[in-house]
A and B are shown apart, each in its own frame.
Chain A
């Protein structure tokens, strides 16, 4: 199979280079216009903050990775790029790489679920721009299957791998019904926003946001349907909250041990959770010595993150096994699109029908006629199949590339239900074994 892929990703290039080569959907559309029909007959472009990858089936058999990289560099002129910044894949290896990306084992954050959605979005974009043809669609279906299986059959995506999410997971180890709890988010920056979103997803009962710049707090509160508290007043209401997540960029602590102690007393010593995900810390670490206050900072939350990452790494061999299985299944399908096996399958299929019908009806004929029946029916089948056989052979001889012939053969297979016939036999064999 003539599939080319090139990738610039977190393993090969710095953030700056990846940023420089990032393609938004408008740029991708323009890029597809440039390469469709010139370099590739069909393909797929994935671009995220951690990777930009181009997959394509070349029109010209002699086209290589360098041609592909050149088209990208014509679109985005980036200085400082060398060959080492690109990973190149061909044929089955390119498919395997796409499956690894979809399954999350090639991600910076192993088991990252987001990439699965990004691959889906990329395919949708390719399809909308008529860049995803027959083969890419099939490759994409298999990639999605591999990704789904990785998520459901292994623990590759389990456990928090970001500090914000680890904070929320730790809260889940203290409180069971978050819908009855109230949370205060101090700081509406990126980390605070992420933690607030996680809490909202976990079904927090009431959420309040406070921030030095009130507008920013109001903006986030609007998105998450939360309440806003003026930054100057929040300490007085501290006791109203079961969960406090602090993520400001303040240089000095904003909550002292005394503040928390007063709040705990006002709460009647009911447990409260304080998560300090700011650098430098927002909450006096001495708070951890207050009996009814659970305090965690980035250091302790990182322990959870590292443990989960380690656990995810241990799952990689299981995911690789799934990828191998899906790749082998895809290649079996692809190989069946060659002319010789297709002709054989077509003949077997007709012979099966003939033999069944003859078997059912032969008792209506005398012993002598039964022999004639066999000969006549075989002759009919041969005559019917003569022209399709010749045409199938011609497909491979006349097509400009193998994939064009594969598409035509696939239509023939589809028309006679031969794909199902094949999978039925395989499943029958699997059951028997």
Chain B
């Protein structure tokens, strides 16, 4: 199984790059040559990636969440998987390259540096921790996708305002659709982060002796959660639309990134395992 894992470390980024190639070709050419095949290939990539994650879990006897590079491969999977579901639900197929490229970046870094860790702290084998981490990662993937759609919204918004009717104008869906995609992703992200925070607050204090409510990762995630909550609340009750909501989503994403950098690479706390 170890050999399969080593080969897969190389194959998975290649599969994502090929999927990206299909989506990118269709975006540039718009002749819908790979309209269905690109979706099928992405599904194939995701299935292979999922099998890889399961094999890792079996081989190393712990879910792949014990170090930053394992987290990255899960994140790569979660981002493309979330996009795939979103594409299936909405049938909007033209924005794939902008999302899959993020998975490629995470997966390449992961594949290059991922260590084979057999020995981990016992607490990292706990199922509740698995649910906590996976829901947090899926939540972060969803807000990443929300931010990507937010960026695309702003690009198209500016292009229309400046009368630039080029590739972006011709290929992207309309502003309202981009706003809706960003909003749906933000709601999914908010729900998943809520699950992660609830499990964290209830279970983590009993599992970790050094648990602290002023932990940087907890504060950062809570801040992101509050920000998205406010944005969704304003959209529903104050009927906010357009750029205002998009700015909220992007701000939430920037804080999420900063919080991740600070908590994972700078601050040391009970939340850092590596």
Which residues of A are found within 8 Å of B242, using beta-carbon distances?
269-271, 292
User: B residues within 8 A CB of A294?
Assistant: 160-161
Known contacts: A270-B242, A292-B242, A307-B165. The answer to whether A177 contacts B160 by CB under 8 A is no
State the Cβ distance, B242 to closest chain A Cβ, in Å.
Answer: 5
Q: Within residues 221 to 270 of chain A, which ones have a CB less than 8 A from any CB in chain B?
A: 268-270
Q: Is the CB of A172 within 8 A of B241?
A: no
Are A173 and B174 within 8 A (Cβ)?
yes
Mark out the residues of chain A between 298 and 342 whose CB falls within 8 Å of any chain B CB in the assembled complex: 300, 303-304, 307
Is A291 interfacial (CB-CB < 8 Å)? yes
Q: Which residue on B lies nearest to A159, using beta carbons?
A: B170
Q: Provide the main secondary structure of the chain A interface.
A: loop
Within 8 Å of chain A (Cβ to Cβ): is B109? no
For the complex formed, measure the closest distance between the CB of B252 and the CB atoms of chain A, giving whole angstroms: 20
Minimum CB–CB distance for B39 against chain A, Å: 21
Distance from A266 Cβ to chain B, minimum over Cβ atoms (Å): 13
In this assembly, does B15 line the interface, its C-beta being within 8 Å of a C-beta of chain A?
A: no
CB of A79 within 8 A of chain B? Answer: no
Chain B residues in 8 Å Cβ range of A173: 156, 160, 169, 174-175
B161, A172: Cβ atoms under 8 Å?
no
CB distance from A315 to the nearest CB of B (A): 12
- The residue in chain B whose Cβ has the minimal distance to the Cβ of A172 is B174
Q: How far is the CA of A320 from the CA of B169 in the complex (A)?
A: 29
Hey, which chain B residues are within 8 Å of A176, CB to CB?
Answer: 173-174, 176-177, 180
**Does A6 touch B at the CB level, under 8 Å?**
no
Which residue from B160, B180, B243 sits with its C-beta under 8 Å from A174?
A: B160
Q: Which residues of A contact B244 (CB under 8 A)?
A: 269
Roughly how many angstroms separate A177 CA and B160 CA in the complex, as a whole number?
18
| A7 CB, nearest partner CB in chain B, Å | 34
Indicate the size class of the contact surface on chain A. 20 to 34
The contact of A175 among B161, B163, B174, by CB within 8 Å, is B174
CA A270 – CA B175 in complex, angstroms? 13
Task: Please report the C-alpha to C-alpha distance between residue A294 and residue B242 in the assembled complex, in whole angstroms.
Answer: 12
In this assembly, does B239 line the interface, its C-beta being within 8 Å of a C-beta of chain A? yes
A270 partner residues in chain B, CB cutoff 8 A: 239, 241-242
Chain A: CB-nearest residue to B176: A176
* Residues of A278-296 whose CB lies within 8 A of B: 288, 291-292, 294, 296
What are the residues of chain B within 8 A of A304 when measuring CB–CB?
165
Cα(A320)–Cα(B244), bound, Å: 50
> Binary interface profile of B, 28-49, with partner A (CB < 8 Å = 1, else 0)?
0000000000000000000000
Contacting residues, chain B, for A170 (C-beta < 8 A) = 160
Which of B163, B173, B177 is in CB contact (< 8 Å) with A300?
B163
The 0/1 profile, CB within 8 Å of B marked 1, for residues 150-175 of chain A is: 00000000000000000000101111
Q: State the CA gap A176–B176 with chains docked (Å).
A: 6
- Give the distance in Å from the alpha carbon of A400 to the alpha carbon of B169 in the complex: 62
Q: How far is the CA of A39 from the CA of B45 in the complex (A)?
A: 70
Residues of A126-154 contacting chain B, CB below 8 A: none
Q: How far is the CA of A303 from the CA of B175 in the complex (A)?
A: 20
CA distance A172 to B161 in the complex (A): 14
* 9 A-B pairs in the complex with CB atoms less than 8 angstroms apart: A170-B160, A176-B176, A176-B180, A270-B239, A288-B161, A292-B243, A294-B161, A296-B163, A304-B165
Residues of chain A touching chain B, judged by Cβ–Cβ distance below 8 Å, are 170, 172-177, 268-271, 288, 291-292, 294, 296, 300, 303-304, 307
Known: A174-B160, A296-B163, A303-B163; 20 extra A-B contacts, CB below 8 A, are A170-B160, A173-B169, A175-B174, A175-B175, A175-B176, A176-B173, A176-B174, A176-B176, A176-B180, A177-B176, A269-B244, A270-B241, A270-B242, A271-B242, A291-B243, A292-B243, A294-B160, A294-B161, A300-B163, A304-B165
